[in-house]
Amino acid sequence: MPYFVYIIECANKALYTGITTDLKRRFGEHKKGKGCRYTAYNPAVKLRYSEKHRTRSAAAKREAEIKGWPRAKKLSLIHCFYPAPGLELRQVRQNAGRFQE
């Protein structure tokens, strides 16, 4: 069974990182304020990023890595894979190196 590491944007603009086996279900829980204590007070508004892992262990390690990053580095990861409209491919490639430290 695959596991997913995800980043959601909350109502207060914070970025929340977690892991799940079902992105749709988990996002729905966060959106309703039932996913965890944090999103109970700051509901999810948008799934910003996800990546697939073969094992729970690999997903948990990646989740911990991303949770340790500052907000700017998380945004760089998001924008590298989901560039804003009008962003040139050259800029996306430059962003790719920012989160691979």
Give the single-character DSSP code of 92: H
Give residue limits of the domains in the chain. 1-68, 70-101
- The structure's pTM equals 0.80
Which pLDDT tens digit goes with each residue over 28-85? Answer: 999 988 878 898 899 999 999 999 999 999 999 999 999 999 999 999 998 887 655 5
- The whole-angstrom distance between residue 35's C-alpha and the CA centroid of its chain comes to 15
Class of domain 1-68: alpha beta
